Structure 1
Amino acid sequence: MKQQIKRKLILCSIVLLSLTMSVAIEKLGLLNGTATVFSQRERQYKHPLNEYVIKAEFDSMEKLLVANQKLTYTNVSESSFQTLYFHLYPNTFKTEGTLPFNAGEINLAYPKGFEPGYIQISSVESSGEALNYVILGVGETILKVNLNQSLEPRAKIDLEITFTVKIPPARGRFGYGENTINIANWYPIAAVHDHRGWNLEPYYAIGDPFYSDTANYRVYITMSPEYTLASTGNIIKRENIGGKVLWTVEAKNVRDFAMIAGEKYKVLEDEVDGIKIKSYFIEDIYGDLALQTAKDAVKIFNKSFGKYPYKQLSIAAADFFIGGMEYPNLVFIDQSLYQEEQQEILEYVVAHEVAHQWWYGIVGNDQVNEPWLDEALTEYSTLLYYEKKYGEDVKENVYKNMVARIYHAYHTPGMESKEKIHRSLKEFENPHEYQALVYSKGAMFIGELRKELGDEVFFQIMKVYFDKYRFKHATTEDFIKLCQQVSERELQAFFSKWLDYNQE
Structure 2
Amino acid sequence: MIKICSRRKILVITIVSCILTLSVIGAKLRVIETVQTVLQGEKLEKSNRMNVYNIAADFDPVERIITAKEKITYRNDENISFNALYFHLYPNAFKHEDTTPFEKNEMEHAYPKGFEPGYIDIHSIQENGEALNYVVMGIGESILKVHLNKSLEPGKKIDLNIDFSVKVPPSCGRFGYGENTINIANWYPILSVFDWKGWNLDPYYAIGDPFYSDVANYRVEILMPQEYILAYSGDCIKKESIEGKIRWTIEGEKIRDFAMIASDKFKMVDGEIDGIKIHSYYFDGQFGDLALDTAKDSIKIFSNLYGKYPYKQFSVVASDFFIGGMEYPNLVFIDQSLYKEENKQILEYVIAHEAAHQWWYGIVGNDEVNEPWLDEALTEYSTLLYYEKKYNAETRDEIYKNLILRYYNAYIEGKNLKEYHVCRSINKFEDSQEYQVLVYYRGAMFIKDLRKQLGDELFFQAMKVYFDKYKYKNANTEDFIHVCEKVANRDLRGSFKQWLRYEKE
Q: TM-score, normalised by structure 1?
A: 0.90
Identify the residue that residue 66 of structure 1 maps to in structure 2: 67
Report the Cα distance in structure 2 between the residues aligned to 1:272 and 1:226, rounded to whole angstroms. Answer: 29
On the 8 A contact 1:66/1:164 being kept in 2, the answer is yes
Match of 1:204 in 2: 205
Kindly indicate which of the two structures has a greater share of residues assigned to helix. 1
Q: Is the 8 A contact 2:61 2:225 kept in 1?
A: yes
1:283-331 deviations in Å (ceiling 9; x for gaps)? 2321111110010011111110000111100000010011000000000
CA RMSD between the two structures? 1.2
Aligned to 2:128: 127
Please tell me whether residue 302 in structure 1 is matched to residue 310 in structure 2: no
Aligned to 1:418, what secondary structure does the other structure show?
A: coil
Distance (whole Å) between structure 1 residues aligned to residue 415 and residue 491 of structure 2: 27
413-422 or 223-232, larger mean C-alpha shift? 413-422
Structure 1 distance, partners of 2:447, 2:410, is: 20
1:26-57: per-residue Cα shift (whole Å, max 9, x none)? Answer: xxxxxxxxxxxxxxxxxx97442111110110
Which stretch of the first structure deviates more once superposed, 421-430 or 193-202?
421-430
Equivalent AA in structure 2 for residue 371 of structure 1:
P
The alpha-carbon deviation at position 406 of structure 1 amounts to: 2.9
After TM superposition, give the deviation of residue 435 of structure 1 in Å: 1.5
1:477, CA displacement in angstroms? Answer: 0.6
| Cross-structure match for 2:315 | 314
The corresponding residue for 2:20 is: none
* Gapped regions of structure 1 (runs ≥ 5): 1-43
Task: Give 1:103 deviation, angstroms.
Answer: 1.4
1:503 CA displacement: 2.5
Match of 2:439 in 1: 438
SS at 1:264's partner residue? coil
Structure 1 residue identity aligned to 2:323? I
User: For each residue in 1:163-208, what CA deviation from the matched residue of structure 2 results, as whole angstroms up to 9, or x when unmatched?
Assistant: 0100000000000000000000000000000111100011111210
- Partner residue of 1:189? 190
Task: Tell me if structure 1 keeps the 8 A contact 2:285–2:340.
Answer: no
Write the letter of the residue equivalent to 2:224: M
Deviation, 1:398, is: 1.6
The match for 2:409 is 408
Evaluate the alpha carbon distance shift between residue 413 and residue 342 of structure 1 in structure 2; reply closer, same or farther with a 3 A threshold.
Answer: closer
Task: Give, in whole Å, the separation in 2 of the partners of 1:243 and 1:206.
Answer: 39
Q: Does the residue aligned with 1:315 lie in a helix, a strand or coil?
A: strand
Q: Give the structure 2 partner of residue 105 of structure 1.
A: 106
Secondary structure of 1:112's counterpart equals: coil
Structure with max Cα Rg: 1
Corresponding position of 1:245:
246
Superposition pairs for residues 38-187 of structure 1, below 5 Å? 46-187=47-188
Which amino acid in the other structure matches residue 351 of structure 1? Answer: A
1:452 shift after superposition:
1.1
Q: Structure 1 residues 149, 422: CA separation in 2 closer, same or farther (over 3 Å shift)? A: same
**Residue aligning to 2:388:** 387
Residue 402 (structure 1) shift: 2.6
What CA distance in whole angstroms lies between the structure 2 residues aligned with 1:115 and 1:404? 41
Residue 323 in 1 paired to residue 342 in 2?
no
Superposed displacement of residue 412, structure 1:
2.5
Partner of 1:425: 426
Deviation larger for 391-400 or 216-225: 391-400
The equivalent residue for 2:270 is: 269
| Partner residue in 1 for 2:232 | 231
> What letter is aligned with 2:191?
A
**Secondary structure of the structure 2 residue equivalent to 1:401:** helix
Find the counterpart in structure 2 of residue 451 from structure 1: 452
**Correspondence for 2:11:** none
1:427 positional shift:
1.4
The Cα of 1:419 is off from its aligned counterpart by 2.7
| SS of corresponding position for 2:404 | helix
SS of equivalent to 2:474:
coil
SS at 2:217 equivalent: strand
- Following superposition, the deviation at residue 282 of structure 1 comes to 1.0
User: Aligned letter for 1:244?
Assistant: K
Give the match's secondary structure for 1:172. Answer: coil
Match of 1:21 in 2: none
Asked whether the equivalents of residues 207 and 434 of structure 1 are also in contact (C-alpha less than 8 Å), the reply is no
2:31 corresponds to: none
Identical pairs, percent: 62
Q: 1:343 to 1:414 in 2, by over 3 A?
A: closer
CA contact (8 A) 2:329 2:362 kept: yes
Q: How many Å separate the matches in 1 of 2:81 and 2:407?
A: 47
- 1:473 paired residue number: 474
**Structure 1 residue 413 displacement after superposition:** 6.9
Q: Aligned equivalents of 1:68 and 1:143: distance in 2?
A: 16
| In 2, Cα distance between equivalents of 1:324 and 1:113 | 23
Q: Which residue of 1 aligns with 2:343?
A: 342
Q: Distance in 2 between matches of 1:110 and 1:404?
A: 34
CA distance in 1, matches of 2:186, 2:349: 25
Cα deviation per residue 1:186-238 (whole Å; 9 max; x = unaligned)? Answer: 00000000111100011111210000000000000001111100000001111
Unaligned runs of 5+ in 2: 1-44
Give secondary structure in 1 for the equivalent of 2:271: strand
In the aligned structure 2, how far is the partner of 1:414 from the partner of 1:237?
A: 56
TM-score, normalised to structure 2, is: 0.90
Distance in 2 separating the partners of 1:45 and 1:134: 29
Q: Residues 132 and 146 of structure 2 are in contact (CA less than 8 Å); yes or no, is this contact kept in structure 1? A: yes
Q: Is 2:285–2:339's contact at 8 Å kept on the other side of the alignment? A: no
SS in structure 2 at match of 1:410: helix
Counterpart code for 2:328: Y
Amino acid at match of 1:394: T
* Paired AA for residue 95 in structure 1: H
Residues 418-438 of structure 1: per-residue CA shift (max 9 Å, x gap): 331111111123322222111
1:355-366 equivalence runs, <5 A:
355-366=356-367
Partners of 1:139 and 1:361 lie apart in 2 by 26
Q: CA deviation at 1:113?
A: 0.5
Decide whether aligned partners of structure 1 residues 407 and 129 sit closer, same or farther in structure 2, where only a CA change above 3 A counts.
Answer: same
Higher mean Cα deviation, 477-486 or 381-390?
477-486
